[in-house]
Structure 1
């Protein structure tokens, strides 16, 4: 996994957890990924340094405007791709989810818009 993909995965997970629970803690992210707390702490430090999150000493994590913008973009890509794979390509939900997770990081905005327009028909 490259650095951009890793960053996007973390941001998407933080966004999903925030939507579901309101408050996100480092331990929630660790559970989601199955990673150790020190691994999550390192990743949160990098995301904070790059302006994507705020991270309190107590473990609370919040997306900044920059982080939320990127997280929503990745989440939207994931949702559209999953829907396309299921509805148009008749893939099973598990395969659709897995493949969407891989492709969401590299698909162009033009291709994503074409998929969205196709799904609206």
Structure 2
């Protein structure tokens, strides 16, 4: 289930906004990601066409089961990698930015091992 990094970022953003605000519209995504309205509109159209997002009559976005699965996977990676980098002494701002890049490229095998390692280190 490999999709483009940009689509993963949109799905993750919708997930985070949903948790923060309860309801999400495209304009919320525009503001959070600092993208243009036409760019976000196009992305939302593609995400709807590919079955990752739905939009109701009022313009509220919802993740489909497929979209939610991807968003949660990426968000878990983001949080874990950010935490790990901060523990290594990286500033939170840099850790956050680096995690955004790493979360998309790390293999599932490496992520699982990293998660196990961080869990063991936290218990020590």
TM-score range with shorter-chain normalisation? over 0.9
User: Moved runs in structure 1, 4+ residues, more than 6 A?
Assistant: none
Give the total of aligned pairs: 118
**Which residue does the alignment assign to 2:67?**
67
Q: Once structures 1 and 2 are overlaid, which stretch shifts more, 97-106 or 52-61?
A: 52-61
Aligned CA RMSD, in angstroms, stands at 1.1
The equivalent residue for 1:27 is: 27
- Match in the other structure for 1:50: 50
The residue number in structure 2 matching 1:102 is 101
Structure 2 runs not aligned, ≥5 long: none
Q: How does 1:11-26 map to 2 (within 5 A)?
A: 11-26=11-26
Residue 39, structure 1, aligned to residue 47, structure 2: no
Which position in structure 1 is the counterpart of 2:111? 112
Alignment TM-score, normalising by the size of structure 1: 0.93
CA deviations over 1:95-121 (Å, ceiling 9, x no partner): 111100001001011111111111111
Gaps of 5+ in 1: none
